[in-house]
Amino acid sequence: MSDPLYLEDFFVGQRFEAGGFSLDAEQIKGFATQYDPQPFHTDEEAAKDSFFGGLAASGWQVACLTMKQMIEAGPKVAGGQIGAGGEIRWPRPTRPGDVLAVSCEVLEVKPSRSKPVLCFVTLRTETKNQNGETVYVFTCQMLTFRRPG
């Protein structure tokens, strides 16, 4: 286990790799049935006639599996990875058989004057497929804490 990261440990341009995951048709359909039950996520045949032209993963599944990777293999943030919000994009669909890689980069470090203990780091998390194409970007305002003492 590496030491947890406090505000003082982050700097602009800092990068972290966070491993990856793959998705097959059964996983795509299983998640979508629970959380995003639309034909292009749950039914190969119906998906052919949709905007996606074939089965595609719910963007929320990509977001959730990316989050899991960030926790299990990404930066060890003191106090945990707590996002207040941010900008989310799915530039490209994720398909059955895709192998995804997760990484993130620090875009901004913002010490707070009003709440000196509690600060924000802007972290851009990006998930790319096996062709190096970006399928998901989450630019998040992440809570960070000053190192105590």
| CA-CA-CA-CA dihedral for 135, 140, 36, 127, to nearest 10 | 20
Pick from 4, 54, 83, 111 the residue near a second copy by CB under 8 A: 83
| CA-CA-CA-CA dihedral for 62, 130, 71, 139, to nearest 10 | -60
Query: Contact between 27 and a second copy (CB under 8 A)?
Result: no
Binding residues with a second copy: total (CB under 8 A): 34
CB of 126 to a second copy, least distance (A): 13
Query: Contact between 116 and a second copy (CB under 8 A)?
Result: no
Can you tell me the distance from the alpha carbon of 134 to that of 131, in angstroms, rounded to the nearest whole number? 9
CB of 56 to a second copy, least distance (A): 9
CB of 92 to a second copy, least distance (A): 10
Where does this chain bind a second copy (CB under 8 A)?
34-40, 50-51, 58-60, 63-65, 67-68, 71-72, 79-91, 137, 143
